[in-house]
């Protein structure tokens, strides 16, 4: 079963981000940031898992996070 992260953006904000970046990377990063600011770490990681991360970020996550946590949130680090 896939977990669904809670949204912290208004529908208007979501639509504006999608206009800027139809692939949704900016939207997902913004949702992750807002979830983190709200103290919802689970949603922050789940939103981040939707982003195609750069190689440096993937490497840093692999080196700094337990594999179980990476798997739990579905982070794409390979």
**pLDDT, one tens digit for every residue, the chain (78 residues):** 468 999 999 999 999 999 999 999 999 999 999 999 999 999 999 999 999 999 999 999 999 999 999 999 889 888
* CA end-to-end distance (rounded Å), the chain: 21
Q: How many domains does the chain have?
A: 1
**Residue 78, pLDDT score:** 85
Q: Residue 49 is encoded by which pair of tokens?
A: 């898992």
Q: Is 25 contained in some domain?
A: yes
Q: Is 1 contained in some domain?
A: no
The model carries a pTM of 0.85
Q: Residue 29 is encoded by which pair of tokens?
A: 């990063």
Q: Is 5 contained in some domain?
A: no
Domain that holds residue 35: 11-73
**Residue 46, pLDDT score:** 95
Q: What is the distance between the alpha carbons of residues 33 and 5, in angstroms, rounded to a whole number?
A: 12
32 touches 51 (CB < 8 A): yes
């Amino acid at each position: 079963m896939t977990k669904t992260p809670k949204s912290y953006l208004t529908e208007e904000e979501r639509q504006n981000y999608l206009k800027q970046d139809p692939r949704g990377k900016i939207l997902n990063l913004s949702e992750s940031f807002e979830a983190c600011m709200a103290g919802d770490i689970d949603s922050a990681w789940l939103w981040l898992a939707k982003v195609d991360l750069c190689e440096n970020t993937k490497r840093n996550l692999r080196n700094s996070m337990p594999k179980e946590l990476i798997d739990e949130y579905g982070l794409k680090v390979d």
